[in-house]
């Protein structure tokens, strides 16, 4: 278990350093391309109605989902995060 927690903290530190290195100001929901791809892969395999293991709980927290008691709410938040990021990228492409 300590190993998973350590990996979680290392992954968060790396993301924070990467986020600080960018100069463009994006909305709070913005995920970089790598994180968005990770989210898409995560959503393909994720079943909110199964018991959540520790790694899945950490992953959900990385994506800003803290309340894990309602599977329907978790699904909606994941979909909203994906949709907002995709729409934001489309808007950026249109403004170029």
Tens digit of pLDDT for each residue in 59-87? 999 999 999 999 999 999 999 999 999 99
User: What pLDDT score was predicted for residue 25?
Assistant: 81
User: What pLDDT score was predicted for residue 28?
Assistant: 79
User: What pLDDT score was predicted for residue 55?
Assistant: 94
- Three-state SS at 86: helix
pTM of the model: 0.70
Model pLDDT for residues 6-53, shown as the tens digit of each residue: 666 666 665 554 555 456 688 778 888 899 999 999 999 999 999 999
User: What pLDDT score was predicted for residue 23?
Assistant: 61
Establish how many alpha carbons lie within 13 A of residue 55's alpha carbon, considering only the half-sphere containing its beta carbon: 6
Write down the H helix ranges in 22-70. 33-45, 54-62
Phi-psi domain of 64 (left: phi exceeds 0; alpha: psi -120 through 50; beta: other):
left
- Dmax over CA atoms of the chain, in Å, equals 46
User: What pLDDT score was predicted for residue 67?
Assistant: 95
Phi-psi domain of 33 (left: phi exceeds 0; alpha: psi -120 through 50; beta: other):
alpha
Token couple for 31: 């995920």
Given a cut of 60, whether residue 91 has pLDDT beyond it is: yes
């Amino acid at each position: 278990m300590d190993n998973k927690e350590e990996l979680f903290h290392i992954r968060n530190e790396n993301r924070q350093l990467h986020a600080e290195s960018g100069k463009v100001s994006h909305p709070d929901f913005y995920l970089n391309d790598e994180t968005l791809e990770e989210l898409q892969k995560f959503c393909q395999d994720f079943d909110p109605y199964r018991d959540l293991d520790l790694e899945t709980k950490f992953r959900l927290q990385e994506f800003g989902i803290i309340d894990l008691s309602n599977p329907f709410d978790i699904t909606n938040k994941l979909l909203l995060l994906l949709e907002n990021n995709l729409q934001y990228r489309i808007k950026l492409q249109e403004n170029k």
